[in-house]
Structure 1
Amino acid sequence: MKTIKGPGIFLSQFIGAEAPFNTLEGLAEWAAALGYKALQIPCNHPHIFDLPKAATSQAYCDEITATLARHGLVISELSTHLEGQLLAVHPAYDLAFDNFAPEAVRGNPSARQAWATQALKQAAAASEKLGLTAHATFSGSLAWPYFYPWPPHNAVLLEEAFTTLAQRWLPVLDCFDQHGVDVCFEIHPGEDLHDGVTFGRFLALVNHHPRCNILFDPSHLRLQHMDYLDFIDRYHDRIKAFHVKDAEFAASGQSGVYGGYQNWADRPGRFRSPGDGDIDFKSIFSKLSQYDYSGWAVLEWECCLKNAETGAREGSEFIRRHIIPVSERAFDDFAAGQNDRQQARRMLGLGGDVFHD
């Protein structure tokens, strides 16, 4: 077994216009002061991390590494959640997602998709230069508007959606493979890969690609009423990244898992700071340790009640408290006998002689 690394923190929810949140140096100093050991860095803020430059310049990547090292930090993963989203956008979301892309490709879905593909491949190259082995992203979504079977279930529509999604991702997965980096899809409502069944369907269509893996975030499974511990049992060999994000669900006679178009604070299911929701993180950390997960435990702070600064401070301690320093030997080794075959046969009443066919 291996000890999970952490705590790490995903920067997306903390980057801002004011110091210390407007530079990588400032964010690093702030995170280190809170006890974090790693940063998960989004690729959509050039003033924080210049992705095209990182993809081509080892010197720039070494500079980033040195900046973090001055504060006792490393990078856990790069993130292309927004870029991955733009690899597959249903027309219903064109306008909503256009702002995720550079102005030059807005209003042009084909150009936007090409830009997203290039950005993902740049992230693969940058990850290798930074010495990373995992990458966090979204799958994008073509079928999501049809997640509920009304109009009635359309098998051909879903087949076309997932086949196209796989075709768009295969060259990207191959690129990440060339750079020795796992693509970790966050299983997330709003994405076509939003549960185990959809991930499995996609995995089969990309020929069980070795770089097709999972970012495990239990909050999104909890709000779908999924068994997130059983999910680990089923998919642990594909879990290569981990977001520590809490959630809670309080059954209501007014609305359910779809939320009734309400603000987050008013929904039956809502995200909370770690420890404030109802997710069993003690069991999650135990299972991940049992299955030799050796990646990072990274706080993704999203809470409809608590402020971000408090959530970040508490999250660092929460993760540290849940990491299990795994034992290098069994607790009952002190009472173990020798692994002697003749002695074992005598203990079984089979005599001391060992016979082989």
Structure 2
Amino acid sequence: TFSGALLWPYMYPWPQRPSGLVEEGFAELARRWRPILDAFGEAGVDLCFEIHPGEDLHDGASFERFLDAVDHHPRAKILYDPSHMLLQQLDYLGFIDRYHERIGMFHVKDAEFRPNARSGVYGGYQDWVERPGRFRSLGDGQIDFKQIFSKLTQYGYDGWAVLEWECCLKDAGQGAAEGAHFIRRQLIDRATRAFDDFAGVEGSTSSNRRLLGLD
């Protein structure tokens, strides 16, 4: 789901925002979402907010503020989509390290960001083809999916890897066919044992002290 955008029109810090505006906005988000999160909790279902520009929950800082407002509700989770983070110039790999316990869904979508002398993150009201930040078909952008799949495997993510296609250049049919194959090549079967188990030995205090030259 999306969080809603009570505060998005005031995202840029100029003109100065009235004192308390941000706090009231997140308090209202909490009032609206808390009963929904409770209902999801009763049903045993997580509610995953897509961290997305245009929404009040658009980065880690805004998600943390929301978590504080809903008392860190256990059902408040994240739909992780690295494409939106690349276009904001966020560290999308570090995001996994920081928030992996809250990631409940994963949109596999590619993007690229190529700023120039005319426009950057905000895009200058240009169409998608002309914008420095563009969504691309899987494998055509700049997202490091090998590292993403590695980190998600490292932290025990066991949800879906959902292909989301959005590209201003490539046809959807071609993007879907290539994307499904692309995801299949990224999937990791987690190792069931350490690669160096063959060299493992049983240890004891006395043998360890001998190895250290202490006895």
Which band: TM-score by shorter chain?
over 0.9
Distance in 2 between the 1:327 and 1:259 partners?
43
RMSD: 1.1
Distance in 2 between the 1:340 and 1:350 partners?
13
Q: Percent of aligned positions with the same letter in both sequences? A: 66
Distance in 1 between the 2:190 and 2:138 partners?
22
- What is the correspondence of 1:111-130 to structure 2 with a 5 Å cutoff? none
SS state at 1:326 partner: coil
Distance in 2 between the 1:273 and 1:155 partners?
43
Question: Structure 1 residues 296 and 155, CA, compared in 2 at 3 Å: closer, same or farther?
Answer: farther
Structure 2 counterpart of 1:281, from 135, 142, 145: 145
SS state at 2:61 partner: helix
What are the Cα deviations for residues 36-73 of structure 1, in whole angstroms up to 9, with x where unaligned?
xxxxxxxxxxxxxxxxxxxxxxxxxxxxxxxxxxxxxx
Matched residue, 1:187: 51
Distance in 2 between the 1:345 and 1:240 partners?
46
What are the Cα deviations for residues 325-354 of structure 1, in whole angstroms up to 9, with x where unaligned?
110111000101114344323323344xxx
Distance in 2 between the 1:311 and 1:235 partners?
29
SS state at 1:247 partner: strand
Q: 2:143 corresponds to which letter in structure 1?
A: I
2:80–2:105: 8 Å Cα contact kept in structure 1? Answer: yes
Distance in 2 between the 1:203 and 1:223 partners?
24
* Unpaired runs of at least 5, structure 2: none
Distance in 2 between the 1:339 and 1:179 partners?
48
Matched residue, 1:252: 116
Matched residue, 1:158: 22
Matched residue, 1:261: 125
Distance in 1 between the 2:100 and 2:83 partners?
17
Distance in 1 between the 2:202 and 2:48 partners?
43
Q: 2:78 corresponds to which letter in structure 1?
A: I
Deviation at 1:318, TM superposition (A): 0.5
Structure 2 counterpart of 1:206, from 49, 62, 70: 70
- What is the correspondence of 1:1-357 to structure 2 with a 5 Å cutoff? 137-351=1-215
2:105–2:160: 8 Å Cα contact kept in structure 1? Answer: yes
SS state at 1:232 partner: helix
2:115–2:121: 8 Å Cα contact kept in structure 1? Answer: no
Normalised to the residue count of structure 1, the TM-score between the two structures is 0.59
Deviation at 1:287, TM superposition (A): 0.7
Aligned residues: 215
Deviation at 1:185, TM superposition (A): 0.5
Normalised to the residue count of structure 2, the TM-score between the two structures is 0.97
Q: 2:171 corresponds to which letter in structure 1?
A: N
Q: 1:320 corresponds to which letter in structure 2?
A: R
Distance in 2 between the 1:269 and 1:155 partners?
33
What are the Cα deviations for residues 67-106 of structure 1, in whole angstroms up to 9, with x where unaligned?
xxxxxxxxxxxxxxxxxxxxxxxxxxxxxxxxxxxxxxxx
Distance in 2 between the 1:240 and 1:340 partners?
42
SS state at 1:302 partner: coil
